[in-house]
Amino acid sequence: MTSLGKRPTQPRELVRAVDRVSFLHLERCVVNRDSNAITATDERGTVHVPAASVGVLLLGPGTTITHQAIALMSDSGSTVVWVGEQGVRYYAHGVSPARTSRLVEAQAEAVSNRRSRLRVARAMYEMRFPAEDVSSLTMQQLRGREGARVRRIYRKHSERTGVPWSKRDYDVDDWEAGDPVNQALSAANSALYGVVHSVIVALGCSPALGFVHTGHHRSFVYDIADLYKTELTIPVAFDVAAETAVDVGAETRRFLRDSLHGGKLLERCARDIQRLLLNPDENEEPPEGYLDFDVISLWDEHGNAVQGGVSYGGAS
């Protein structure tokens, strides 16, 4: 149990993002705290998981979580996301461990200017087309190339696994109506969105301020997740569909969790976000895990932040 006088865990004391399990999905259980571990209890017993080893905790239907468990996850720099049946609906997320507004200010500035927004959007497409020069392409041209690329990827994995593919087809209100590969794609993408969302809020960015996507409270989540789908969620979905899994959602999450951890997605995602939002002269190596600033400054009309927590009134 945490005492009232215990200081918050400092960022440098947290487990590095690269060493964490990317996500843990729980359904129909009670989540509590036992020392520095979270516990998941159902009729089969209790499982202990070190809180600091989890990047994001996905809570599905039938879960109840205690105040102490949430406090531990927050102190451990882990994000909690509430999701729907099979993990395919996002509802809400817990507190962010971010201690700085640096990146969200850079994000807001970049998205508010047409030229800088186009620069970031092109940079996102350039990450997906590393062999092509996209510096002069319009958004319409970039969307066309992306659509053609994704269709090629679907055909490639359909041929590789022998799973028939016609088109992306799913009903958000009737997940079971889709064929196995579309069910697996929905489950995999939802889990990826949860992980990416956790990194975005952990860095202090806004999930709503997208560069390619717009008008949605998770636009930036979809922007960043799209960087990784063709190498992560699409092949995993076809692999699961090829195995004719009994529980497509659970099997997809297991496959994807192994892929995410092996590819060190948390660290990669944090680096990609910082690289996209910061100017080249600001783009130093990110710290391990999360950004490590814990300084409150005051705004100055001359463009320089001044130190907070100081009396500027002079002697009385």
What SS3 string covers the chain?
CCCCCCCCCCHHHCCCHHHCEEEEEECCCEEEEECCEEEEEECCEEEEEEHHHEEEEEECCCCEECHHHHHHHHHCCCEEEEECHHHCCEEEECCCCCCCCHHHHHHHHHHCCHHHHHHHHHHHHHHHCCCCCCCCCCHHHHHHHHHHHHHHHHHHHHHHHCCCCCCCCCCCCCHHHCCHHHHHHHHHHHHHHHHHHHHHHHCCCCCCCCCCCCCCCCHHHHHHHCCCCCCCHHHHHHHHHHCCCCCHHHHHHHHHHHHHHHCCHHHHHHHHHHHHHCCHHHCCCCCCCCCCCCCCEECCCCCCCEECCCCCCCCC
Residue 2 in domain: no
Higher pLDDT, 299 or 133: 133
Same domain, 49 and 134: no
Q: Are residues 44 and 187 in the same domain?
A: no
- Does one domain contain both 55 and 194? no
For residue 292, pLDDT beyond 50: no
Residue 54 is predicted with a pLDDT of 78
Of the given ranges (55-69, 87-101, 177-191), which has the lowest mean pLDDT? 87-101
Annotated binding residue 213 = yes
**Is 208 part of any domain?**
yes
Give me the pLDDT at residue 210, please. 95
Tell me which of 113-122, 158-167, 178-187 is least confident.
178-187
Asked if residue 243 and residue 178 are part of one domain, the reply reads yes
**Pair 199, 268 in one domain:** yes
Q: According to the annotation, is 34 in a ligand binding site?
A: no
Domain that holds residue 85: 11-93
Mean pLDDT of 247-276: 84
pLDDT above 50 for 265: yes
Q: Are residues 112 and 219 in the same domain?
A: yes
Give mean pLDDT, residues 59-71: 91
Domain membership of residue 54 (yes or no) is yes
Higher pLDDT residue, 94 or 142? Answer: 142
- Domain end, chosen from 44, 64, 93, is at 93
User: Within this chain, do residues 249 and 269 fall inside the same structural domain, yes or no?
Assistant: yes
The answer to whether 179 is a known ligand-binding residue is no
pLDDT for the residue numbered 256: 87
Residues 64 and 81 in one domain: yes
> Which residue would you say has higher pLDDT here, 237 or 298?
237
Does residue 137 lie within any of the structural domains? yes
Domain end point (choices 67, 93, 119)? 93
pLDDT at residue 99 is higher than 70: no
CATH number of the CATH domain containing 108? 1.20.120.920
Q: What is the pTM of this model?
A: 0.69
Classify residue 295: in a domain, yes or no.
no
- For residue 73, pLDDT over 70 is answered with yes
Q: Is residue 63 part of a domain?
A: yes
Are residue 261 and residue 151 in the same domain, yes or no?
yes
Domain count, the chain: 2
